[in-house]
């Protein structure tokens, strides 16, 4: 398995609290992504990064922010959690060298906002 | 804007029958297309990509630029093919995002 880990794996939090999810890789891949997976919606891109301190928004970025201060870590922060952010969150990594490499996915973080 | 459409949320096929999972895309340029699969309780993993033209686990997919499609096919379904399948797209140069469709849950009926 590619070296990609997410933490925590499960979290229950209250509405209005900030939450930070961490994605850590040991593959030295340039690209990192955060997705949320919801029934009927598939995988929707929240934010992605194409290098240290280089990030961009995905299709469902409202209410989320990210940071990437070093190659191996990509943090996703829910600034003020809402029940609509209850979901399974996946981090992925990939690279580009005359073509895209396979994207490797973390095991997911199940977040429940109560 | 880039978009991937998978029109079927659910697909049930009898064992031994042919399988076709549909994928259409929208992208202004030359895309790279992928199929990813998620088996029960496992991570999402790459099944195949159009540039390699491989056949993985009996699955093939051909990029049709005229119809902007990348349908996944297998001539004879097997029970172990039951899984969630996602079509995905990216641009063919760096700094591009990887966009997924909504997925199709394939169930093979014994």
For the stretch A10-58, pLDDT in tens is 999 999 999 999 999 999 999 999 999 998 888 999 999 999 999 999 9
pLDDT at B49: 87
Q: How confident is the model at residue B102 (pLDDT cuts 50, 70, 90)?
A: very high
Residue A35 to residue B100, Cβ atoms within 8 A: yes
CB of B28 less than 8 A from some CB of A: no
Residue B43 to residue A102, Cβ atoms within 8 A: no
Q: What is the pLDDT of residues B25-78, one digit of tens each?
A: 999 888 889 999 999 988 899 999 887 777 889 999 988 989 999 999 999 999
Residue B95 has pLDDT above 70, yes or no: no
SS3 at position B81:
helix
Mapped to the 3 state alphabet, what secondary structure does chain A carry? CCCEEEECCEEEECCCCCEEEEEEECCCCCEEEEEEEECCCEEEEEEEEEECCEEEECCCCCCEEEEEEECCEEEEEECCCCHHHCEEEEEEEECECCCECCCEECCCEEEEEC
The size of the A-B interface in CB pairs under 8 A is: 61
Residue B102 to residue A50, Cβ atoms within 8 A: no
Contacts with B43 (C-beta within 8 Å, 6 or more apart), sequence order: A1, A104, A105, A106, A107, A108
DSSP B12-53: EEETTS-EEE--EEE-SS-EEEEEEEE-TTS--EEEEETTTT
Of B32, B86, B99, the CB nearest to A45: B99
- Under 8 Å between Cβ of B70 and B61: yes
Contacts with A17 (C-beta within 8 Å, 6 or more apart), sequence order: A80, A81
CB of B42 less than 8 A from some CB of A: no
Kindly list the distances between the CA atom of residue B110 and the CA atoms of B17, B77, B82, B85, in Å, as whole numbers in the listed order.
11, 10, 11, 19
pLDDT at A98: 72
Q: What is the pLDDT of residues A64-86, one digit of tens each?
A: 999 999 999 999 999 999 999 99
pLDDT at B91: 82
Task: Identify the residue among A42, A51, A93, A94 best suited for mutation to test binding to B, counting B beta carbons within 10 A and taking the highest.
Answer: A42
SS3 at position B89:
strand
Residue B105 has pLDDT above 80, yes or no: yes
Burial label, B43 (beta-carbon count in 10 A; 0-12, 13-18, 19+): middle
pLDDT at A1: 61
CB of B26 less than 8 A from some CB of A: no
Q: How confident is the model at residue A93 (pLDDT cuts 50, 70, 90)?
A: very high
Tracing tokens 């870590």 back to the chain, one arrives at: A73
Residue A99 to residue B98, Cβ atoms within 8 A: no
pLDDT at B94: 64
Sheet holding B60-61, edge to edge: B19-21, B72-74, B60-61
- Under 8 Å between Cβ of A21 and A109: yes
CB of B109 less than 8 A from some CB of A: no
| Helix (H), strand (E) at residue B4 | strand B3-5
For residue A70, give how far its alpha carbon lies from the nearest alpha carbon of chain B (Å). 17
pLDDT at B87: 97
Tracing tokens 């919801």 back to the chain, one arrives at: A38
Mean pLDDT of chain B: 91
């Amino acid at each position: 398995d590619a070296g990609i880990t997410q933490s925590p794996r499960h979290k229950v939090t209250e509405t209005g609290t900030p939450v930070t999810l961490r994605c850590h890789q040991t593959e030295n891949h340039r690209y990192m992504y955060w997705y949320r997976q919801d029934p009927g919606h598939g995988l929707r891109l929240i934010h992605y990064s194409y290098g240290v301190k280089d990030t961009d928004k995905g299709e469902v970025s409202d209410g989320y922010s990210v940071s990437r201060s070093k190659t191996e870590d990509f943090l996703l922060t829910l600034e003020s959690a809402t029940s609509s952010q209850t979901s399974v969150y996946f981090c992925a990594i990939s690279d580009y060298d005359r073509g895209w490499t396979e994207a490797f996915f973390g095991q997911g973080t199940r977040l429940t906002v109560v | 804007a880039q978009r991937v459409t998978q029109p079927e949320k659910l697909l049930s096929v009898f064992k031994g029958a042919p399988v076709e999972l549909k994928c259409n895309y929208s992208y202004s340029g030359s895309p790279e297309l992928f199929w990813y699969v998620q088996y029960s309780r496992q991570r999402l993993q790459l099944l195949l990509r159009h540039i390699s033209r491989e056949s993985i686990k009996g699955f093939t997919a051909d990029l049709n630029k005229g119809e902007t499609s990348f349908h996944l096919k297998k001539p004879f379904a097997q029970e172990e093919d039951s899984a969630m399948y996602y079509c995905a797209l990216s641009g063919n140069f760096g700094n591009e995002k990887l966009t997924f469709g909504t997925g199709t849950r394939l169930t093979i009926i014994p």
